[in-house]
Amino acid sequence: MSLTGGIILFAVIWFMVFFMVLPVRLKTQGDVDEIVPGTHAGAPHEAHLGPKVKITTAVTVVLWGIIAAVLLSGAVTLEDIDFFDRLRR
């Protein structure tokens, strides 16, 4: 895995984890009955983005480390996941 590949892998994992963390413990404006005029009742009352970004980054570092270790060790290669023999032409 190259440096660019590692950065892209980190970014993809980070966004996947972030979108999973976003709805956790979310209180909408409709839940607290404080709907701001012009907004939807399902809009977040308080997003708490700072803690969610920190949690996302911590989880991503762990997942990226595990995935990078597996890829760099050679335990899983492209030939292992080439189910249709497209790489052996």
pLDDT tens track, the chain, 89 positions: 789 999 999 999 999 999 999 999 988 888 888 888 998 988 888 888 999 999 999 999 999 999 999 989 988 888 888 888 887 76
CA distance 72 to 1: 7
Is the CA virtual torsion 6, 11, 14, 19 positive or negative? negative
Distances (CA, A) of 20 to 47, 56, 72: 14, 9, 27
Instruction: Confirm whether pTM is higher than 0.85.
Output: no
Q: Which domain holds residue 59?
A: 3-81
Give a yes or no: residue 89 inside a domain: no
Give a yes or no: residue 26 inside a domain: yes
Q: How many domains does the chain have?
A: 1
End-to-end Cα distance, the chain: 23
Q: Of the candidates 58, 49, 52, which has an alpha carbon nearest to the alpha carbon of residue 13?
A: 58
Give a yes or no: residue 25 inside a domain: yes
